[in-house]
Amino acid sequence: MVKGGIVVHPSSSSRTLALGLVFALCSAACSTTRAPKGADNENLTVGRLRHVNPTDVAVLPVVNMTGRSGLPLDVMRAQFQDALADLRYSPLALEYVDSKVVEASFDPGALSEDAILKVQVTRWDDSTWDLNSRLVVEADVYLLDTKAPEVGNALWGGHVIRRLDMVRERTITATSAELMQRTMQTFARDVLASLPSRNPAYPAQAR
């Protein structure tokens, strides 16, 4: 800074104050723009999960409630299975679960699992998929205790709406099947972002 023809250097305290102000502004900006992971899943709530702390989870076949055909339900289910594993749960092999599904019904606890993941797709809006690679999926997603598998006693879950914008992913995927797999991966991980990771410090509920 030039003052009266003399170059005046700012004092160290002034520089420290300025740097502190910049840091505070950056911190405030970051805190307002970065929402907690899963915060936009407003209707997904934790119930009795902490008291049960399940380990083995049976991911049931996804139920299609939309009235439409051709939905990638198996792909979605596989992605939920993978996402659960990343959260330290132990999802059972899908083929093993299917061996106990009879006429679209499953007897909770038939595989000695601690919990079941139940997904029902209620809306599938792909009206802008071909043009803009955007998809809206609504679903009821619940993690249920095998000892009390009623939705009213859910360990975690609720109704979720996810708007999936896959424009960037379309430019880096070779096939439509790969793009849909990425889309279902994003959907499953966004939904389960609201599910707390399994805490190995607490034992599972006695069986």
User: Tens digits of per-residue pLDDT, 21-63?
Assistant: 544 544 444 444 566 668 889 889 999 898 899 999 999 999 9
Q: Return the sign of the alpha-carbon dihedral for residues 39, 45, 50, 55.
A: negative
What average pLDDT does the structure give for the chain? 86
Q: What pLDDT, on the 0 to 100 scale, is given for residue 92?
A: 97
User: Tens digits of per-residue pLDDT, 102-135?
Assistant: 877 899 999 999 999 999 999 999 999 999 999 9
Q: What pLDDT, on the 0 to 100 scale, is given for residue 39?
A: 80
Residue 206, pLDDT > 50, answer no
**Both tokens of residue 96?**
């093993």
CA-CA distances (angstroms) from residue 205 to 28, 38, 100, 121?
42, 26, 23, 29
Q: How far apart are the first and last CA of the chain?
A: 74
Model pTM score:
0.80
Helix (H, G, I), strand (E, B) or coil at 9: coil
Helix (H, G, I), strand (E, B) or coil at 35: coil
CA-CA distances (angstroms) from residue 8 to 12, 21, 145, 179?
12, 21, 71, 60
Mean pLDDT throughout 179-200?
A: 94
Q: What pLDDT, on the 0 to 100 scale, is given for residue 165?
A: 96
Residue 10, pLDDT > 50, answer yes
Q: What pLDDT, on the 0 to 100 scale, is given for residue 7?
A: 52
Q: Return the sign of the alpha-carbon dihedral for residues 67, 65, 137, 69.
A: negative
Mean pLDDT throughout 83-93?
A: 97
82, 185 Cβ separation under 8 angstroms: yes
Mean pLDDT throughout 95-104?
A: 91
Percent of the chain topping pLDDT 70: 79
Label the pairing between strands 115-125 and 63-64: parallel
- What is the rounded distance in angstroms from the CA atom of residue 165 to the CA atom of residue 171? 12
Q: What pLDDT, on the 0 to 100 scale, is given for residue 5?
A: 54
Q: What pLDDT, on the 0 to 100 scale, is given for residue 20?
A: 53
Rg (CA), the chain: 24
Q: What pLDDT, on the 0 to 100 scale, is given for residue 31?
A: 46
Cα angle 161-36-21, degrees, rounded to a multiple of 5? 140
Residue 141, pLDDT > 80, answer yes
